[in-house]
A and B are shown apart, each in its own frame.
Chain A
Amino acid sequence: MPTIKINHLHKSYTNEKGEATKALEDINLEIRDGEFVCIVGPSGCGKSTLLEMVAGLLDSTSGEILLDDVPVKGTSRDIGVVFQDASLFPWKTVKKNIVFGMDIAKVPKEEQEKRLAKYIRLMNLTEFENKYPAQLSGGMQQRAGIARALVMNPKVLLMDEPFSAVDHLTRCTLQEELVRIRQEENRTVFFVTHDLNEAVYLADRVILLTPRPGRVQQEYTVKLPHPRNRNDDYLIRLATRIMADIGRGCREDEAAEYFI
């Protein structure tokens, strides 16, 4: 049974003059339980829009999103979200940020402590619990952002370009940690990125969207078991192939940001 099923999803925006701009057109997707899916595509193809609709933060113009056969209407605690720049509350310590969702959900204190301890350890945040976000590097902030989503035990984890704001080395470390965590917990992950190497390294399946309006252009299955070597020939060839396909789907200047 698929965890997420997206049927004929459309999204268009209307400006002040009443002209409609199509952002996403007829998206059909099935994401199976425990699958790691990466969405890639040129900037402005509606990747993040799609993620926000799955998160229930944005309404669709038409079509439906089903989570375990139940339509997604508004946000849900079954869906965890990791934002682009971590979006931690600057006035709370790392620990308070991580327990925020559990506080809202009225999780008993003992259970909170247990889960907090587990994810502090898992995300290598030990000794940073009582620091404020401003005192942390971008990478550490995003670890806390991921921990904040995971402590809620969501069925699906949505990640919106979570590593785009950190430096290359930290990004590689975070990717490896994500792979490790996923092997331990086997969660369904819906990951938006514009980094093709990242996509092929992490995903079971990569989905390429076309530029304005976003449509599913192509799907690629990554047939390589974890743990993967990021310099594996197969992965590099796959990334190159996706890169070439992007070039076919849009004008040259838009493909420019995709040099590998």
Chain B
Amino acid sequence: MKEKRKKRFTYITALQILTVAALLLYMQYAVGSGKVSKVFLAAPTDIAQKGIKMITDGTLLPHLLVTLQEVFAGYFLAAAVGITVGLLWVFFPKLEEYMNVFCAAIMAVPKTAILPLLILWFGIGFKSKVVLIFLFAVFTILYNTVTGAKLCDTKYIKVARVFEASRVQTVFKVLIPAALPSIFNGLRLAAATVLTGVIFSEMQSAKAGLGFLLSEAQSNLATARVFFIIILVTLISVGFVKIIAGLEYLLCYKWRKL
């Protein structure tokens, strides 16, 4: 196991903390004294207050759950399809030859541009969000899986052949383990982008979700709430990536120098 590096409290760290503190203090002062309108900026105490109120009076939770459900449904669908199709491509190169051009074309379309179509087809609710998140994530996962499996050193394939492993055994015992770091790379990159997709589409058209709350707060000029939701969404995004990284650590850390 890696030796834990002792975090030294240097003057750089002190400077960084001072910078953040100064920024927060300025926000507090500027809004409190009326120098900057409450429409443009929010005092940190106000943000905290509004946040606590949203949590305690129950307005936040249903929307949070809607967003999380959409994200998890879309993301896991994308992970399942991306990894499966990626491995199928490795199994059947002809399939890749056939599908690659379509995938590359769909991947090139800015996903947010097809949101109007998705709304027409799937409505403004859960389904259209899941499909959008799926499209946001699936290609990153797919192409990382394929690249990982293709980069599998030929020497490992030779070992499998020498021991007369079948194709299925070679895929499950050699290709997938060898591709695992790359698959996780795709999963991590996708996790970082899906929040963008879901918040955007909820802001455009939705009846629930954090994006919906965000655009509602904005139209009511409730800037403190806007700030609170932005912070919350960022934390969710960071947490999500951390979970994937943790899973990767569990599965690969023993043999891979992370």
- Please give the residue numbers on chain A whose beta carbons come within 8 Å of chain B beta carbons, in ascending order: 55, 57, 75-77, 79-81, 83, 85, 87, 89-92, 100-101, 104-105, 132-134, 152
Contact = CB atoms under 8 A, between A and B. Distances in A.
Given A83-B155, A104-B169, A75 B255 contact: no
Given A89-B174, A89-B177, A90-B256, A105 B164 contact: yes
A182 B162 CA distance: 21
Interface of A is mostly: loop
B155, B163, B178, B256, most chain A CB atoms within 10 A: B163
Given A89-B156, A89-B178, A152-B163, 18 more contacts: A57-B162, A75-B162, A75-B164, A87-B155, A87-B158, A89-B174, A90-B255, A91-B177, A91-B180, A92-B177, A100-B159, A100-B173, A101-B162, A104-B163, A104-B164, A105-B164, A132-B254, A134-B255
B177 A55 contact: no
Nearest to A58: B158
A87 B163 contact: no
Interface of B is mostly: helix
Given A57-B158, A89-B174, A91-B180, A100 B163 contact: yes
A85, A89, A92, A132, most chain B CB atoms within 10 A: A89
B258 to A, nearest CB: 12
Nearest to B256: A90
A92 B174 CA distance: 10
20 contacts: A55-B162, A57-B162, A75-B161, A75-B162, A75-B163, A77-B164, A85-B155, A87-B155, A89-B159, A89-B174, A89-B177, A89-B178, A90-B256, A91-B180, A91-B255, A92-B177, A92-B255, A100-B163, A100-B173, A152-B163
B153, B169, B177, B255, most chain A CB atoms within 10 A: B255
B161, B164, B165, B257, most chain A CB atoms within 10 A: B164
B238 to A, nearest CB: 28
